[in-house]
Structures are given as C-alpha cells and as structure tokens.
A and B are shown apart, each in its own frame.
Chain A
C-alpha cells in the first residue's frame, strides 16, 4: 500500500498493523526516516508533493521492489507538507519469506525514494529557507542497484 499524508504518523503503530495476521511471511523489515534539526539550522522541513503523480511514481518503485525481491507485501507511507524535527518523514515496511529479501528491499526502496520519488524539499530555519536537491551520495546509492540489474 502506498500513502501520502499531510499529518504526523506513528511508525510503531504502522509496523504492528503491518505484522498482524501473517503466518507465512517469516520476515518483516522496516525503515523510518525522521526530519533532522541540523543543529538548529532547520526548524521546519517542508515537502512538496504532486498529488496523484507522487503516489503513482512511488507505486512504480514499490512494484519494482516487489518483483525484484519476491515480496509478499510492501507499505510506503510518506509525509508531505510542513514537518517538525523529530517527526517521521517516511515509513517503509517489507514482508518476505526470508530476512535477506526483506532487508534489501527496504534499502532499495529508500534509495529510490531519495532521488526518484516526486518530492521537493525545503528547509526553513533562522537564516531563511532553502531548497534541498539530491546529494551526489544519493546518486551513488542508486547506482548500486542499477549496476546489479545489468550483471
């Protein structure tokens, strides 16, 4: 399931709900990304989405993860709007028969969400606001998976 939300969410509750009623999956991995204060330089993290398109693109990323790692289930919940430091920005959970697939799928999903999901990030702080674009590191992270595909 893919969801975009403008409200704070409880990652623990989502994980409990995601684990419920599964007798065959064997492994569930999850990742929660939090907004950082950056030593006081960020008071609010603002994420702009393109409703409809954003969910559809995340859905395509999730479909790739599902096929590549043979997942039983995937959940991606992503915040948009104004986010306070310490609040969750993204929650990803993956269910698979064995742990390796669940772990790797979480890693894959986060690498793709970082630079392929339609969000635009602005940090607001005491010195004003600035747009954050993907870092070189994000592209290197993504390249790991692309390389493996062509092996």
Chain B
C-alpha cells in the first residue's frame, strides 16, 4: 500500500491538530500506533537513537513545566502532545524520500521551489559537513586543544568548529547556486517531474483523516 507524500503530509498536519482536539487517551493511542508504524518502517540504530533522544527531551520538557508550577497532569499531557507531534514527523521522514516531500510541497502546497529545494540541499550536504567538522576538530586537537574533560567542555569544542563550518558553507553555497543556475533550476524543475498521482490508498487515508478530524462535531452527537 503506497500513499503519496501529499497524503502523508496531510496526515501529519492532521495529527498535529488532533493532539489538541482529542482527549488524552486518544492521543496516547495515537502515540502507540505511531511508534509501531515507525518501528515497522525502519528499525535501525539511528531510528532507535532518535526515539531515545526524543524521550529524553520530552522528559526534560515535563520537568521544566513542573518546575514552573504546572500541575502534574498538565505537564504530562503537554509532554505527551509534543512527543506525538515529533514522532509523527519522524514517521514522515522514515516513510518518504525527502525529494518526494519537496515535490509535494511545491505541487500541492505551492511552496516556492527555492524553499522546497532547501530540504534536499540540507540533506545532501549534512554528511559532507559532518566529515568536514571531524577534520576541523582534529585540527583543533593537533594545535593543542585538549578533548579531555566533561561533556560540557566537549560541547564547547564543537562550538569553536561552527565558525569555520559556516564560512565553508557560505563558500560552498556560492558554487552550489552557480551550479543550479547552470543547470537551469527554476519553476520548471518541479513541474517537469513525474507528478505524484493520488491512488485508492490515498483517498482512503484522506477519508479517515477527515472523519477523525471532525471528532469535535460528531462527539457531541454520541
């Protein structure tokens, strides 16, 4: 069953709205479904690490709310909502290629092509920048910057790498922009790609989404 990026985007947006409309029990159910879906699509180390990081972050958010005097129930509900929303995006990224997401954004949501292309570009260059930053960290080390010490010291070392990386990014983006100009990037780019047609599965999912989104209406009558 294949659904297009458009449908997936609509679903994710709907889920984001649902966390505020539906009662907590429903939101918790959604979370369980999402995690199951995510692990079904991709259960590699990276995905587990991402879920783990999100859990930690949610925990910190809940603690922060408690510290600021919110009652426990509210804090937990807030944390749950955030977790569900972000997991929805994780599912989207795991299930679809970013190029398809970009295409859907341009075709159906009428995002200007330059912004949509930023998504692909980011993904394209992140691995390169990570490798480059490794070299810069090594260079720092070879000049006498000690990596020993606690995690804060090491995080601080990463900060010092940001400036050279940003400079490099600016220089690279110059060549990249030139390259895209040479290749004729523009409104045509997305128009000429094979359009993503909505299939039966898409319509089914969209229908379910619409029905569920109308919950506030039909909950009154039940």
A and B bind: no
Residues of A within 8 A of B (CB): none
Residues of B within 8 A of A (CB): none
